């Protein structure tokens, strides 16, 4: 299994944010100074769709997804129970590098993507039959927030990369941080 490694070689806690393409893989909890954290780079996510119908909030059951999928949120009429059922259908994506989201409902639908039970990203679809897409290619981008400062984003295509937060001593003034990729 592939895993990205996040190391913190600063004197402050570093919070890393990692993306695979446009998909936020994680907003990691703070990594303590001189510590490291491993995160699988090929993991399973869960998706929940939520909408409002006649003033009531409806949510689907969480569905586990991995890789390129297409999520369709729809309201189905259940004549036997005299009710509506809000549901999400999952199918393979027609694009091997995308997660796709669409709806057939009148109101907007929010698709919440979670990893290990923690929401990491939301996609809102406002127009029926319009598709919102997230690219999930093999390009990873990472930035960190250290002592209230956001670093520049680094990129790699290595699913086993080691991303290290370090003090940037190339500038004349102290307090700057940078990320290195190995």
pLDDT tens string 116-162 = 888 999 999 999 878 999 999 889 999 999 999 999 999 999 999 99
Instruction: Indicate the Cα dihedral angle 73, 67, 114, 134, nearest 10°.
Output: -70
Q: 53-86 pLDDT, tens per residue?
A: 889 899 999 999 988 999 999 999 888 988 888 9
What ranges do the domains of the chain cover?
3-42+138-181, 45-134
Whats the size of the chain, residue-wise? 182
Query: Is the pLDDT confidence value at 170 over 80?
Result: no
Confidence class of residue 173 from pLDDT cuts 50, 70 and 90? low
Task: Label the pairing between strands 69-78 and 83-92.
Answer: antiparallel
The tokens describing 1, both together, are: 């299994």
Condensed to tens digits (0 to 9), the pLDDT of residues 8-59 reads 999 999 999 999 999 998 888 899 999 999 988 777 899 999 999 889 899 9
**Tokens found for residue 67:** 């890789």
Q: Residue 94 pLDDT more than 90?
A: yes
Strand 98-103 relative to strand 69-78, pairing = parallel
pLDDT of residue 169: 80
- Chain centroid, CA 23 distance in Å: 4
Report pTM: 0.85
The CATH number for 3-42+138-181, chosen from 1.20.120, 2.60.40, 1.10.287, 3.10.450, is 2.60.40
């Amino acid at each position: 299994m592939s895993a990205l490694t996040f190391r913190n070689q600063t004197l402050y806690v570093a919070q890393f944010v990692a993306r695979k393409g446009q998909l936020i893989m994680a907003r990691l909890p703070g990594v303590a100074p001189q510590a490291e954290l491993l995160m699988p780079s090929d993991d399973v996510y869960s998706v929940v769709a939520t909408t409002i119908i006649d003033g009531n909030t409806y949510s689907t059951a969480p569905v586990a997804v991995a890789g390129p999928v297409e999520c369709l949120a729809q309201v189905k009429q259940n004549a036997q129970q005299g009710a509506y059922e809000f549901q999400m259908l999952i199918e393979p994506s027609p694009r091997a590098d995308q997660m796709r989201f669409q709806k057939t409902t009148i109101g907007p639908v929010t698709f919440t993507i979670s990893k290990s039970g923690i929401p990491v990203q939301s996609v809102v679809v406002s127009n029926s039959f319009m598709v919102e897409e997230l690219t999930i290619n093999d390009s990873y981008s990472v930035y960190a927030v250290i002592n209230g400062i956001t670093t520049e984003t680094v990129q790699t295509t290595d699913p086993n990369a080691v991303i290290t937060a370090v003090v940037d001593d190339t500038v004349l003034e102290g307090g700057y941080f940078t990320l290195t990729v190995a």
